Homo-oligomer: A and B are copies of this chain.
Amino acid sequence: MPILIGETQPDVQDLDMLETDEETPRRRDPEATRQAILEAAEELFVCHGPSATSLSQIARAANITKSLIHHHFGSKEELFAEVQQRHFQEYFEAQKEMLESSDSTSSLLEDSLITYFRFLQSHPESVRFMMWSTVEGGDDGCPKKAEKGLFELGIQKIREAQERGEIRADLEPFFIIKTLLALPMAWFQSRAETLQLVDSEIEPEALDELYLRDMIAIFLEGVRPRPTDADPQSPDRQSPDRQTSSSPD
């Protein structure tokens, strides 16, 4: 629904005048135009993909002319790069907020897992956008700094939890995060196919909850320290504290 921004010419003028008085008269607002283009482009990119989205469609959706896109952003590629950067910036900011607001109780991983699941559940565009970026987005690496910082923060938190004995110490924190991210992401990536695979009368949201429950059960049990540390019951997967210092990053 955020396609049609527009409305900047016909009569909103008066409202803008009322709202902002004569401080910011707001006609011919280049910043608003930029935002309108960005939002329209993101919606269309997410829906049809970059190469299947034409500048004409974006212009039509944003209620502006095609030339304006070239004026504000250089080319289609640059526009997509900007949309990409904007999207991932918001995405990583949201993730960082989540991670930092998480209280360092023993429920660190469970909280993160649930929060990430809920985030993807309520932001299906993000799932699609990440797929588009993976599959045909240029190797720009624009948000890689933020992602890297996010990973390092998570790794640090997990290390602390491992030292507190709350998480198995024989697992590499980096891979714990990878696993934690993989479980919700893969679910929502194939959600449509899954739904028509289980062609039952169950509502999608209910299926989400069922998956969430089992996914949490498997993951948490998988990273939980053994009840008896020197349990000889499964000798071949003893995992005598693999070198914890050889983090891959």
Contacts and interface: CB of A to CB of B under 8 A. Distances in A.
Given A49-B51, A202-B248, A227-B227, A219 B217 contact: no
Majority secondary structure of chain A interface residues (helix, strand, loop or mixed):
helix
A248 B210 contact: yes
A190 B136 contact: no
A12 interface: no
A128 B190 CA distance: 14
A98 interface: no
A136 B50 CA distance: 11
A234 B97 CA distance: 29
Interface residues of A, number: 63
A172 interface: yes
Interface string A148-186: 100100000000000000001011101110110111011
Contacts of A151: 197
B239 A217 contact: yes
A187 B193 CA distance: 20
Interface string A139-153: 101001001100100
Contacts of A112: none
A193 B135 CA distance: 11
Contacts of A189: 134
Interface in A182-211: 182-183, 185-187, 189-190, 192-194, 196-200, 202, 207, 210-211
A182 B186 CA distance: 5
A27 interface: no
Given A131-B135, A179-B218, 7 more contacts: A131-B131, A170-B217, A172-B214, A178-B187, A186-B186, A210-B248, A221-B222
